[in-house]
Structure 1
Amino acid sequence: MLLIVFALGASIGSFANVVIYRLPAGQSLLHPPSRCPHCGHGLGKGENIPVLGWLRLRGRCAHCHSPISPRYPIVEAVTGLLFLGVFWRYEVSLTTVGYWLFLTGLLVLALIDWDTMTLPNPLTRLGVLSGLVYQTLQGWQGDSAIEGLMRGIFGAVLGIWLIDAVRFLGSLAWGKEAMGAGDGKLLAAIGAWLGPGLMVISGFVGALLGAVMGGGAIALGILGRSQPMPFGPFLALGGAMAAIWGTRWLNLYLEIFFPAGVL
């Protein structure tokens, strides 16, 4: 069963690679089929197997022998591992299927932002809408679909307000935009999927990771002080971590600071 889950995730990761490469370039996601990015040679069935196809080709096109980026099999393998992790945590459930889609979307948005410093509106809007559908279904499984929908809406609105507040304060402090508008839409999508509580955890973890990594890059001379850095990958990582462990972190926080009997 675990092998099937990994293979499914790797296959979804293969399509994620297509979206990451083609969507920013304005190309069709469906046509033409997968091909060498250098010579345009179409990949055969054996060459298009996730992870194994790249290994079989030894990282080079069979037609023009140009190197093929190892990021393709890495994305496929990471997606497969994400599917395994979610399945291990939530077993066969609506949460598992939902989080498979959610984490794949976060991975796609993170890499697009890393490559292009943009977060495409069609993807962030799709993230918000699909998150609201997911919350509605979760609410329907529980007590109330309306409550689930409202939780998703509140999470989305709070997410975009939170980033807008940071952008406003950053603009006042530094006299320029502190972050892009797409970051707010990404956090809104995370809020729609996870609800307001886990969205706040996602934003906090993303900001912490961004500060540590950005500060480290500046200290090592990898990044200039005025050089922009994409924040989307850190928000996406925060969202993924909150989806898997956020409920435990939130419960631990409440146990430490609000033990039973205090309120």
Structure 2
Amino acid sequence: MDTLMLIPASLIVFALGASIGSFINVVVYRVPAGLSVLFPPSRCPHCLNQLKSYDNVPVLGWLWLKGRCRFCKNNIAMRYPVVEFITGLLFLVIFGIFQFSPLTMGYWVFCSWLLALSLIDLDTMTLPNPLTKSGLVLGLIFQTILGFINSNNSNSWTNAANSLFLAVLGAVVGIWLFDAIAFVASIVFQKQAMGGGDAKLAAMMGAWLGWKHLLLASFLACVAGVVVGGGAMLLTQKSRKARQWGKKMPFGPFLALGSLITIFIGEALISSYLELFPK
């Protein structure tokens, strides 16, 4: 891409991502509470006053208000601008890798779903069905469209059908794999070791990534979970809260992290692994 076009395009992409991040904040707050994500418009959770349009500008609005509500002066959590900023960066990285392509649009959607689900899992230890199911359906649609676009005119519908079949296969592998892990773990530990939402999230990941990349993402998630959870549990007695979190940490954010790594460098990791076993 021409350098003169890259800078304004990057600014637009970051602004778009930050705006989506603002909506993700709404989803994270309202979906677990059973509230509509569209109505009423954004408002202060303390005094319930509707936010002014200029106060609702992603990242900048929080800075203008100095982290306080214009009306009741209660603190506005720093997580709001942080989520907006991170979403903007994610959009920018995806755009930098995949440029103007269907993959860019698709992965923007996928990563938005992953971020929303991760934050909800951190807050409530749940992965809401409306998000995992809608994410699964969008993954199937995405792979079907991708198969249609990436084929020649003579067999476009056949290729689309094949892509849909592989997406369904990935979803089935995801839910079967994690259901099996949960079943075995419940026998070993004599208690529920994994929530049903993790299997549904894995099914969603399988639809978007395919079964091969799903396995890689799941492996990376397990490695990250062991490192973070084990580190938290090894803290001193003074950090009892952190050790308790290590025992009851949600797995959804690690699955999301594994998916992100797979999107960005999955092919390179698989190629490096295969090079260890030359024919």
TM-score with structure 1 setting the length: 0.96
Q: Corresponding residue for 1:200? A: 215
Q: Corresponding residue for 1:141? A: 149
Which residue identity lines up with residue 104 of structure 1 in the other structure?
S
Does residue 245 of the first structure (1) align with residue 260 of the second (2)? no
Question: Structure 2 vs 1, CA of residues 234 and 63 (structure 1 numbering), >3 Å: closer, same or farther?
Answer: same
CA distance in 1, matches of 2:133, 2:81: 28
**Pairs within 5 Å for 1:90-105:** 90-105=98-113
SS at match of 1:223: helix
Q: Corresponding residue for 1:43? A: 51
Q: Corresponding residue for 1:89? A: 97
Match of 1:56 among 61, 64, 69: 64
Q: Corresponding residue for 1:31? A: 39
Number of aligned positions between the proteins: 259
Q: Does 227-236 or 121-130 show the bigger shift?
A: 227-236
**Pairs within 5 Å for 1:33-182:** 33-143=41-151, 144-182=159-197
Structure 1 residue ranges (4+ consecutive) displaced by more than 6 angstroms after TM superposition: none
Which structure 1 segments of 5+ residues have no match? none
Match of 2:226 among 205, 211, 234: 211
CA distance in 2, matches of 1:39, 1:227: 36
CA distance in 1, matches of 2:167, 2:257: 20
**Pairs within 5 Å for 1:179-194:** 179-194=194-209
CA distance in 2, matches of 1:254, 1:152: 24
SS at match of 2:193: coil
Q: Corresponding residue for 2:6? A: none
Which structure 2 segments of 5+ residues have no match? 1-8, 152-158
Q: Provide the aligned C-alpha RMSD in A.
A: 1.2
Q: Deviation of residue 66 (structure 1)?
A: 0.4
Q: Is the 8 A contact 2:133 2:204 kept in 1?
A: yes
Q: Deviation of residue 226 (structure 1)?
A: 8.9
Q: Is the 8 A contact 2:230 2:246 kept in 1?
A: no
Q: Corresponding residue for 2:5? A: none
